[in-house]
Homo-oligomer: A and B are copies of this chain.
Amino acid sequence: MGEIKVIELKEEILSDNKNFAEELRTRLKASKTFMLNLMASPGAGKTSLVLNTIRELRDEFMIGVIEGDIASVVDSEKVMKEGIPVVQLKTGGFCHLDAYMIDKALSELDVKNLDLIIIENVGNLVCPAEFDTGAIKNAMILSVPEGDDKPLKYPLMFSICDVLVVNKVDFLDYSDFDMHEMKERVKSLNPEITIIDVSCKTGFNIGKWAQWLKDEIDLFQQEDALKV
């Protein structure tokens, strides 16, 4: 009699990707380049936050951007107008970015001379949460119009992020979004997460977000210096 050998491809692929992501992080530490992986649903405000971050931090840090998108280059064009180096990954249907794809993008950037690389991941709350990109920190945006139940529906995404940016708080007055309830749900999934309310439209708390990111970059570059 024969025997069925079962290979769980998704587990193997995720495991291979995780190992390669660790390699990327080692390289980023060597060049003191902080890489942030920014995830969100379509329309939550990823590109707006990227543009706001560039404007807040461009005087202090050399910044590069990796834009992930299924087909378009619209977001990249906005970043390019800021005079920031940008690589567009067109996934051609894939709904996530993985470490191998990020490596292809990094090879097109002058990584050694960059302090901060922001990955704008594909707009999706499921698949990007599964694939380690090699980033130093993971960030997500939840926008108020999406609803306060999202932590219940996408627990993995909320669990793996270091910071949650709650965007479009200018909509709170016109919405039944329960901020307290949402934060309780998130904290129960991920007690360590930092949560920052912002409005990319009005500029509310953008400085606070930029300060969080600056502190993380400074800490990362100091840690690296201490090791060397």
Binding site for B on A (CB under 8 A): 1-12, 73, 76-77, 79-80, 82-94, 101, 104-105, 108
Chain A at the B interface: mostly helix, strand, loop or mixed? Answer: mixed
Taking CB atoms, residues of chain B closer than 8 Å to A4 are: 73, 76-77, 80, 86-88
Q: Is the CB of B80 within 8 A of A1?
A: yes
A-B contact pairs, 21 of them (CB 8 A): A2-B84, A2-B85, A2-B86, A3-B80, A4-B73, A4-B77, A4-B86, A4-B88, A5-B86, A5-B87, A5-B108, A6-B73, A6-B76, A6-B88, A7-B90, A7-B101, A7-B105, A9-B91, A9-B104, A10-B92, A11-B92
Quote the shortest CB–CB distance from A74 to chain B (angstroms): 11
Q: A83-B1, A84-B2 are in contact. Are A108 and B7 (CB under 8 A)?
A: yes
Residue among A8, A9, A80, A88 with the most chain B CB within 10 A? A9
Q: A3-B80, A73-B6 are in contact. Are A12 and B104 (CB under 8 A)?
A: yes
Q: Is the CB of A6 within 8 A of B83?
A: no
Taking CB atoms, residues of chain B closer than 8 Å to A9 are: 89-92, 94, 101, 104
Taking CB atoms, residues of chain B closer than 8 Å to A11 are: 92
Q: Is the CB of A83 within 8 A of B10?
A: no
Cα distance, A112 to B189, chains bound together (Å) = 50
Q: Is the CB of A89 within 8 A of B1?
A: no
